[in-house]
Amino acid sequence: MADYPINKIRNFGVIAHIDAGKTTTSERILFYTGISHKIGEVHEGDTVMDWMEQERERGITITAAATTAYWSPTDAKNKAAEGEPRQGREDEKVKLNIIDTPGHIDFTIEVKRSLRVLDGAVVVFDGVAGVEPQSETNWRYADDYKVPRVCFINKLDRLGASFDRSFQSILERLSPHAVKLQIPDGHEDQFKGIVDLLTMEYYTFEGDKGEKIVKGAIPADLADKAKQERAAAIERIVEQDDEAMAEYLDGKEISVERLRKIIRRATIENKIFPVLCGSALKNKGVQLVLDAVAYYLPSPVDISATNAVDQKTGKDMTISPDDNAPFAALAFKTATDPFVGSLTFFRVYSGKLASGSYVLNTRTGQQERISRIVRLHANEREEIKEIYAGNIAATVGLKATKTGDTLCDPSVPVVLEGIDVPEPVISLRAEPKTKADQEKMSLALRKLSDEDPTFRIRSDEETAETIISGMGELHLEIIVDRMKREFGVGLNVGRPQVAYKETISGTAEAEGKYIRQSGGRGQYGHVWLRVEPKERGQGYEFVNAIKGGSIPQEFVTPSEKGVREAMDKGVVAGFPLVDMMVTLYDGSYHEVDSSEVAFKIAASTALQEAAKRAKPILLEPIMKVEIITPEKCLGESTGDLASRRGQILSINDRSPLNLKVIESRVPLSEMFGYATALRSLTEGRGTFNMEFDHYEPVPNNIAQLIVEGKK
């Protein structure tokens, strides 16, 4: 039998822009739920959820950390203390499976794969900055996976904080469906407490760590504003329920319990996003965020059934969270643990799994034995015997399972929807210092690329060097640091290189022939290819248009392999070709001499020739850059951007701090060393955020320099 009722489980993640206070919020959650007995602080480097050395040194989250906790809503505890019999007992308690995700764009895969398996999210915002670039990116990922969200406007104790301004930025930049459920009493050093607009209760947080929640009367100077805000919130809530709307218009009072039920249903359907407030660092409001998770975020049974494909028949099907159904789970993360080896995190969508049983990996077709199942608490593990539908856990020692693989009952093979992995945009050349480091480096690269699908490795055929690629300079810096520390690899690395791509701007045709005659059997391959450009970002498509058997079917697949190999080599400067359609429409064969190898070489030759005729161009990654600079340094900052081929989209005020926010698009190749340049331009006060936006053609004069540099 399941260890906890499935309707009392909440699988949620804490997501936000870097430095909005995700990990600080997560640390308070662990403390208030009793999981940890000391609050770790990011600035002191002793947090539970940021356990890697690299995270503690830099004060940022790099890898998503999972933990399990239990929580009884504050109302239930208060009623239990007041002597009401049912409330506050075990049946009021919810089980929280929590994932704390990174905020830095270089580790965006951690957010994507976490949101793929979570039922809800707490989105944390900086009360000074409001919505920031990574807030928008994470919100978009949550939209893609239809994840219900609760918003927490944090850091209201900071200089320049404004709850109303941050709330307005959510309405304007993320969703018009955000609804205030709380308002703060004061800002900055005057931030004292929180008004709950549903119950019209005033909360303050006392004790060393804010663990004592004190309810009181709303201060007189806040009473009128609270009434106005409550009326606005109730209107937005009852819009979601026709019956409640009719009663409200008739002047009837809607009970708090009923309002919570309406909010819950609307939140699960993504029609409402409740907005809360507080300061995690000053221990104000985090318990009320946990209450909102319990009240409004879905349990596994509240979300729609999961889409899957029956591997035997190829038909679409759905999977429901039922303990008695065949087992099906998605592996969403792999990690190398220094004590137990390979760890595979998975979310169970149906059935149950016991240690010692076998599961089928439907990607590889291999069965793997589940030797141990562990419940994670950051970097600590608690061994359990069984795991049930709706839960998140990890298993030890799976050899062939990677991110996005489906694990299921061998007798009922199904494939769950995988995880989209973004393409890397930056590369480094890496070489071992000694012969002994060569073997260690191969092992380290294999393990790290298994852990992180956005980290790629390839070998440069011309120089025989190893090229490692990732999502940004920080991403590769962390990878290199881990190779040195965890795997003891002595390593030399080159300067970062941009991951350029090539494409074609016209249509062309070409013939490819490979004919060799020797004493015995010869080689004969002959193809005609047509290449056409596709829209940016649409990728590569191969079309088999052979009619009348001019090329037998068994030589079509080798021809496509030849096309792919030629595309990987490129035609302008050796960068991969993308966004094009290749049509194999004619050719010929020899009954004796034709072979797969001959057609592969012929197709490769034809593709290279056709691409050269189709006006090939270079593409470069363009980054979305947000720069925050003092007003007096605005001219220098915009001038510097213009010199970097930057396109300025907008300049906005961030009052009352006399700061300007510049939204721009800048080629990645121009952004190396920008942090240092910006500091010198702005007297050390400027900051910037950068994330990949799209690929764009490189201007001819710069393309010429890139080609010459490559040669």
* Cα-to-chain-centroid distance, residue 295: 25
- CB count within 10 Å of CB 626 equals 22
Residue 21 annotated as lining a ligand binding site: yes
Tell me: do 214 and 311 sit in the same domain: no
- For 359, 431, 490, 521, the CA distances from 435, given in Å and listed in that order, are 40, 10, 10, 43
Per the listing, tokens 């998605």 go with 330
**Predicted local distance difference test score (pLDDT) of residue 379:** 57
Q: H helices of 239-285, where?
A: 242-249, 256-268
Identify the residue with better confidence: 55 or 307.
Answer: 307
Tell me: do 515 and 570 sit in the same domain: yes
Judge contact between 328 and 362, C-beta under 8 A.
no
Using pLDDT thresholds of 50, 70 and 90, give the confidence band for residue 461. low
The CATH number linked to 571 is 3.30.230.10
Per the listing, tokens 């809800």 go with 120
Tell me: do 562 and 581 sit in the same domain: yes
Judged by DSSP in three states, 302 sits in coil
Residue type, 153: I
* Cα-to-chain-centroid distance, residue 672: 24
What percentage of the chain reaches a pLDDT higher than 90? 35
| C-alpha dihedral (400, 404, 406, 407), degrees to nearest 10 | 50
What tokens does 528 get?
């005609």
- Segments forming the whole domain that contains residue 585: 501-614
- Tell me how far apart the alpha carbons of residues 533 and 541 are, in angstroms, rounded to a whole number: 10
- Tell me how far apart the alpha carbons of residues 225 and 211 are, in angstroms, rounded to a whole number: 27
Using pLDDT thresholds of 50, 70 and 90, give the confidence band for residue 41. low
Residue 40 annotated as lining a ligand binding site: no
What tokens does 174 get?
């993320």
Identify the residue with better confidence: 10 or 23.
Answer: 10
pLDDT over 90 (residue 73): no
- CB count within 10 Å of CB 61 equals 26
Tell me the DSSP string of 450-491: HH-TT-EEEE-TTT--EEEEESSHHHHHHHHHHHHHHS---E
The CATH number linked to 663 is 3.30.70.240
Tell me: do 385 and 479 sit in the same domain: no
What percentage of the chain reaches a pLDDT higher than 70? 89
Mean pLDDT, to the nearest integer, of 25-48?
67
Tell me: do 280 and 195 sit in the same domain: yes
Judge contact between 307 and 316, C-beta under 8 A.
yes
Question: What digits encode the pLDDT tens for the residues 118-131?
Answer: 899 999 999 998 88
- Tell me how far apart the alpha carbons of residues 81 and 84 are, in angstroms, rounded to a whole number: 7
Per the listing, tokens 């928008």 go with 136
Judged by DSSP in three states, 659 sits in strand
- Tell me how far apart the alpha carbons of residues 368 and 447 are, in angstroms, rounded to a whole number: 19
Residue 100 annotated as lining a ligand binding site: yes
Residue 129 annotated as lining a ligand binding site: no
The CATH number linked to 264 is 3.40.50.300
Can you give the three-state secondary structure of 351-416, one letter per residue?
CEEECCCEEEECCCCEEEECCCEEEEECCEEEEECEEECCCEEEEECCCCCCCCCEEECCCCCEEE
Per the listing, tokens 């006060």 go with 685
**Predicted local distance difference test score (pLDDT) of residue 234:** 94
**Predicted local distance difference test score (pLDDT) of residue 83:** 41
The secondary structure of residue 279, as a DSSP letter, is: B
Judge contact between 286 and 280, C-beta under 8 A.
yes
- Tell me how far apart the alpha carbons of residues 124 and 157 are, in angstroms, rounded to a whole number: 15
pLDDT over 80 (residue 662): yes
Residue 364 annotated as lining a ligand binding site: no
- Is the sign of the CA dihedral 619, 624, 629, 632 positive or negative? positive
Identify the residue with better confidence: 158 or 672.
Answer: 158
- Tell me how far apart the alpha carbons of residues 530 and 528 are, in angstroms, rounded to a whole number: 7
Judge contact between 408 and 311, C-beta under 8 A.
no
Give the number of C-alpha atoms closer than 13 A to the C-alpha of residue 441, restricted to the C-beta side: 20
Residue 160 annotated as lining a ligand binding site: no
- Tell me how far apart the alpha carbons of residues 32 and 38 are, in angstroms, rounded to a whole number: 10
Give the H/E segment covering residue 307.
strand 306-310
In residues, how long is the chain? 711
Residue 353 annotated as lining a ligand binding site: no
**Predicted local distance difference test score (pLDDT) of residue 665:** 94
Residue 213 annotated as lining a ligand binding site: no
**Predicted local distance difference test score (pLDDT) of residue 493:** 82
- Tell me how far apart the alpha carbons of residues 341 and 586 are, in angstroms, rounded to a whole number: 52
Examine residue 301 and state whether it is found in any structural domain, yes or no.
no
Residue 590 annotated as lining a ligand binding site: no
Tell me: do 257 and 318 sit in the same domain: no
**Predicted local distance difference test score (pLDDT) of residue 81:** 45
Tell me: do 74 and 223 sit in the same domain: yes
Strand 508-516 relative to strand 523-533, pairing = antiparallel
Identify the residue with better confidence: 85 or 361.
Answer: 361
**Predicted local distance difference test score (pLDDT) of residue 144:** 84
- Tell me how far apart the alpha carbons of residues 556 and 582 are, in angstroms, rounded to a whole number: 13
pLDDT over 80 (residue 139): yes
Question: What digits encode the pLDDT tens for the residues 377-390?
Answer: 655 677 888 899 88
Strand 328-337 relative to strand 491-493, pairing = unpaired
Could you check whether the bond before residue 667 is cis, i.e. omega within 30 degrees of 0? no
Question: What digits encode the pLDDT tens for the residues 278-321?
Answer: 999 999 999 999 999 999 999 999 988 888 888 888 888 888 88
pLDDT over 80 (residue 484): yes
Question: What digits encode the pLDDT tens for the residues 579-613?
Answer: 999 999 988 888 878 888 899 999 999 999 999 99
The secondary structure of residue 189, as a DSSP letter, is: G
Q: How many domains does the chain have?
A: 5
pLDDT over 60 (residue 77): no
What tokens does 467 get?
């090229």
Per the listing, tokens 């856990």 go with 393
**Predicted local distance difference test score (pLDDT) of residue 201:** 93
Predicted structure pTM score: 0.75
- Tell me how far apart the alpha carbons of residues 295 and 245 are, in angstroms, rounded to a whole number: 21
Residue 526 annotated as lining a ligand binding site: no
The CATH number linked to 382 is 2.40.30.10
Mean pLDDT, to the nearest integer, of 349-375?
89
Please provide the distance, in angstroms rounded to a whole number, between the alpha carbons at the two ends of the chain.
66
**Predicted local distance difference test score (pLDDT) of residue 75:** 64
pLDDT over 70 (residue 340): no
Mean pLDDT, to the nearest integer, of 252-275?
94
Contacts of residue 178, defined as CB under 8 A and 6 or more positions apart, other chains included, come to: 151, 167, 170, 171, 273, 275
- CB count within 10 Å of CB 497 equals 16
Among candidate residues 394, 416, 438, the one where a domain is terminated: 416
- Tell me how far apart the alpha carbons of residues 331 and 599 are, in angstroms, rounded to a whole number: 39
Strand 501-504 relative to strand 497-498, pairing = unpaired
pLDDT over 80 (residue 468): yes
Residue 61 annotated as lining a ligand binding site: no
Q: What is the CA radius of gyration of the chain?
A: 29
Tell me: do 230 and 351 sit in the same domain: no
**Predicted local distance difference test score (pLDDT) of residue 656:** 56
Residue type, 332: F
Tell me: do 517 and 556 sit in the same domain: yes
Question: What digits encode the pLDDT tens for the residues 176-211?
Answer: 999 999 999 999 889 999 999 999 999 999 988 888
Tell me: do 173 and 321 sit in the same domain: no
Residue 103 annotated as lining a ligand binding site: yes
Using pLDDT thresholds of 50, 70 and 90, give the confidence band for residue 87. very low
- Is the sign of the CA dihedral 55, 133, 176, 227 positive or negative? positive
Using pLDDT thresholds of 50, 70 and 90, give the confidence band for residue 82. very low
Judge contact between 376 and 69, C-beta under 8 A.
no
Residue 23 annotated as lining a ligand binding site: yes
Residue 102 annotated as lining a ligand binding site: yes
Average pLDDT, the chain: 84
Examine residue 421 and state whether it is found in any structural domain, yes or no.
no
Tell me: do 44 and 168 sit in the same domain: yes
Among candidate residues 443, 464, 494, the one where a domain is terminated: 494
Examine residue 1 and state whether it is found in any structural domain, yes or no.
no
Among candidate residues 416, 449, 465, the one where a domain is terminated: 416
Residue 437 annotated as lining a ligand binding site: no
Tell me: do 76 and 206 sit in the same domain: yes
